[in-house]
Structure 1
Amino acid sequence: MAKSANALIKPDLLEWTRKDAGFGVEEAARKIGTTPERLAGWEQGDSKPTVNQLRKLAAAYKRPLALFYLPVPPEDTPAIRDFRRLPGTIFGSDSPQLRFEKRRAQFRRDTALELFPLIEHDPPEFPIMASLSDDPELIGVQIRDTLGITYADQVRRSRQRTSFNYWREAIEEIGVLVFQMWLVDNQEARGFSYSGSQYPVIALNSKDSLAGRTFTLLHELAHLTLREGGLCDLLEERQNPSLEGQTEIFCNAVAGATLVPRDYLLLESSVSSNAGSKWADDEIFDLAAKFGVSRETLLRRLLICGKTTADFYAIKRSEYLAEPAPSQRFPVPYRYRVINRSGRSFTKLILENYLRDNITGSDVAEYLEVQLKHLPDIEREVMGSATSIT
């Protein structure tokens, strides 16, 4: 077997890509099956990796091979503000998986901004604006009106998977790209967002529960209304909150008000007839199921609406947190996995450009991270037919 040729690349690119991916020398070397000393030698210019070794590095760092041949490192991915409050969070120490998901989301947004004018004039402008001084209840009403969400439709689609898809598709309809990340631990980040007047981005953690993802979706949408994307775990600082803490409190309040409007909640017979502050488990469950939200979200809304106490809420929340997470493992057809991760809006945009010969099949494979043989099934699901892609 012929020996692989050396890769004629600049050492600076090797070091930059490793650090940008979030790997130390030892971890990166272990991933590609070499020694830390050899990898350090490549980065210092003492020797060069072979092309095959460079391919392994590209796969480990989740970077295209061509990037390593650039004359200088590319510009860094725009930073997003870190709103996380989980104990032990070290700001700026994102895992390689989270770093990759942020790069992927930014790349897809850039791609959408580039491709949309090829089939239309300009991407839609994000239509909702808010500030921390606004009433979250009123912002919730505005969001529902903008999305076209009605109480009757919400109740009809209250099963958690149906509810999640209902909200996601409505948000995508106003020009927000909604992706799902699947490599990141849910304890590191439940979601993040990139703000912008056109094609802002929301990324959700697919390891979260469906009700959790729905709440995070609306929480991140609230961030977009503030024109302040961020990296979030949705925890709140209640004692002398910082500006970041105030923002998280506001976004949580907007998400709750949007999902469970005060007026509709107070009109529920079980709510209007309850003169006390305690609730039976089945009452909480039934109300949460009706609105398509978690029990904690429902109980929080009861607290905000003056229908329970902070002590009762704290007791029940502790009970919910102590429960084992339900298993969500079940087989999902490949086409649904692609659409769930990339979003229906982004997937449709890529397919429309492909069908108009604006991009190649290789481009589609890169943008959607799929093999071309799966495109007919994906097109059938997204666009209702598969007569053009074979």
Structure 2
Amino acid sequence: MAEKAYITPNVLKWARESARMTEEIACAKVSVSIEKLKEWEDGVSLPTIRQAQTLAKAYKRPFALLFLPDVPRDFQPLQDYRKSGSKSLSTSSVFIIRETQQKQSWIRELYEENKEKELSFVGKFNIYDNPEIVANDILETLNINPSDYKTENPIKEWIDKAESKGVFISRTSFIHSRLKLDSDEIQGFAIADKYAPFVFINSDDWNAPQLFTLVHELAHIWIAETGISNEIEINIKDKDKYHPIELFCNEVAASALIPKEIINNFDKSTFSDSKEIFKYAKNLGVSSFALLVRAYNLNIINFATYQILRKDAEYQFTEFLKREAEKKAKQKEKEQKGGPNYFLLQLNRNSRLFTQTVLDTFRGGGIEPSLASNLLNVQINKFQKLEAQLYK
């Protein structure tokens, strides 16, 4: 007879509910009926050790947690700055937020213990400051010039510069193969902290929205506003549906990615040809829509022109998506043959800066092997392969 797990019933129920997992899905994980799961959650009967371990893994909780005498104090939910009417956060979103909070909490404690200096740019401004000034400070602090990117992939340059200044940048579009992140639900979030600020970007988007999201979330850090965002890069007619914080951070992002001096120096014919707009937008790493909104807000084009050009841009964007879909299909075909690079995926998900910090601390004897493995989601004997990705 299988040994029973003397778990705490209300903790088991809390673990499932906090994971936003339905009874039906939880039951499928352990192949039992809903009635049996309810018995476990009500304390009428007990699961086996194997069943309890399976549920703990499904709920993304340590197995030992299920034996606590009462429900633990969980991480505080992030402020929801998403567009009004957005759907409830799914299990995937809840898991990635909690995972990032756990990483951020650990690194913050480490930095405090080591008496690291606080980062002066976190909370340097507030929502009542001029977005242009905040944008310029971000560019100066990170030493970035949008008119002179060093690579054809601006988002990589932004991430590298941000992490060099102490901002941890995490990018992923999945928890595992069956739990994907929906970009309509969550595009990104920021945890504003003086020691260890974190930014998360949903890489389900293509590069231009990802870059805009990154700079938008950096603006959250600069005004010390922790929270979740979606539907960034808004249409100028929908402003009433957005939180003031989001409107401000969008202005900062637009000002940083498309500075006035750059757009004012465009050839006069630029805003009469949607193909030219697409070309300039691509050079700046932004979408045509972002460029058009910026031009309208700077009174370079009027609303009628904006509407005409936006319609043309939508066609260009549709054609672009078709080309991107073809590229993705070819890439997927390659990955199916050789498989995606697991270690590169984990490196991006953890953040390069976080990965390096955990590995350095582990090798210095400051962290247990099991915790290092848990933080990086990589087995200890695979650390060398993970670290190799840092230098590619």
TM-score range, shorter chain: 0.7 to 0.9
Q: Which residue of 2 aligns with 1:109?
A: 104
Is the aligned partner of 1:97 residue 2:74? no
Root mean square deviation of aligned Cα? 2.4
Q: Is the 8 A contact 1:278 1:312 kept in 2?
A: no
Please give the TM-score of this superposition, normalised by the length of structure 2: 0.86
Q: Which residue of 2 aligns with 1:228?
A: 225
CA displacement 1:280-302 (0-9 Å, x = unmatched): 31x12221222122222223322
Q: Is the 8 A contact 1:196 1:227 kept in 2?
A: yes
Could you tell me how far 1:153 is from its partner in structure 2? 4.2
Q: Which residue of 2 aligns with 1:209?
A: 206
Could you tell me how far 1:337 is from its partner in structure 2? 1.4
Q: 1:354 aligns with which of 333, 344, 362?
A: 362
User: What is the letter of the counterpart of residue 222 of structure 1?
Assistant: A
Q: For 1:259-270, list aligned pairs within 5 A.
A: 259-267=257-265
The secondary structure found in structure 2 opposite 1:192 is strand
Q: Is the 8 A contact 1:234 1:248 kept in 2?
A: no
Q: Which residue of 2 aligns with 1:5?
A: 3
Q: How many residues align?
A: 368
Q: Which residue of 2 aligns with 1:66?
A: 64
Q: Is the 8 A contact 2:289 2:310 kept in 1?
A: no
Please give the TM-score of this superposition, normalised by the length of structure 1: 0.87
Q: Which runs of 5+ in 1 are unaligned?
A: 385-390
Distance 2:239 2:283 in 1: 35
Distance 2:273 2:249 in 1: 26
Is the aligned partner of 1:310 residue 2:306? yes
Q: 1:141 aligns with which of 136, 140, 151?
A: 136
Q: Which runs of 5+ in 2 are unaligned?
A: 175-180
Q: Is the 8 A contact 1:193 1:223 kept in 2?
A: yes
Q: Is the 8 A contact 1:136 1:254 kept in 2?
A: yes
Between the aligned residues of both structures, percent identity stands at: 29
Q: For 1:377-388, list aligned pairs within 5 A.
A: 377-382=385-390
Q: 1:125 aligns with which of 119, 126, 129?
A: 119
Using the TM superposition, name which of 60-69 and 124-133 deviates more. Answer: 124-133
Q: 1:198 aligns with which of 188, 191, 195?
A: 195
Q: Which residue of 2 aligns with 1:301?
A: 294
Q: Is the 8 A contact 1:126 1:199 kept in 2?
A: no
Distance 1:240 1:234 in 2: 12
Q: Is the 8 A contact 2:281 2:288 kept in 1?
A: yes
Distance 2:73 2:173 in 1: 25
C-alpha spacing 1:10/1:320, structure 2 compared with 1 (3 Å): farther
Q: Which residue of 2 aligns with 1:173?
A: 164
Could you tell me how far 1:29 is from its partner in structure 2? 1.3
C-alpha spacing 1:321/1:231, structure 2 compared with 1 (3 Å): farther
Distance 1:150 1:286 in 2: 18
Q: Is the 8 A contact 1:32 1:60 kept in 2?
A: no
User: What is the letter of the counterpart of residue 290 of structure 1?
Assistant: N
The secondary structure found in structure 2 opposite 1:82 is coil
Could you tell me how far 1:278 is from its partner in structure 2? 2.4
C-alpha spacing 1:377/1:67, structure 2 compared with 1 (3 Å): same
C-alpha spacing 1:383/1:66, structure 2 compared with 1 (3 Å): farther
Q: Which residue of 1 aligns with 2:375?
A: 367
CA displacement 1:109-166 (0-9 Å, x = unmatched): 0111123356x43154251522223222222111100111134642x32x2xx31111
Distance 1:116 1:182 in 2: 28
CA displacement 1:32-77 (0-9 Å, x = unmatched): 3211100000001110000010011112111111111112211122
Using the TM superposition, name which of 68-77 and 100-109 deviates more. Answer: 68-77
C-alpha spacing 1:210/1:145, structure 2 compared with 1 (3 Å): same
CA displacement 1:313-344 (0-9 Å, x = unmatched): 54245436655463444544333212111111
C-alpha spacing 1:313/1:224, structure 2 compared with 1 (3 Å): farther
Q: Which residue of 2 aligns with 1:387?
A: none
Distance 2:127 2:316 in 1: 29
Q: Which residue of 2 aligns with 1:46?
A: 44
Distance 1:335 1:378 in 2: 5
Q: Is the 8 A contact 1:113 1:123 kept in 2?
A: no
Distance 2:294 2:230 in 1: 19
Distance 1:18 1:192 in 2: 23
Distance 2:155 2:108 in 1: 26
Q: Which residue of 1 aligns with 2:184?
A: 187
Q: Which residue of 2 aligns with 1:246?
A: 244
Distance 1:60 1:353 in 2: 29
Distance 2:53 2:227 in 1: 32
Could you tell me how far 1:180 is from its partner in structure 2? 1.9
Could you tell me how far 1:80 is from its partner in structure 2? 1.4
Distance 1:205 1:345 in 2: 18
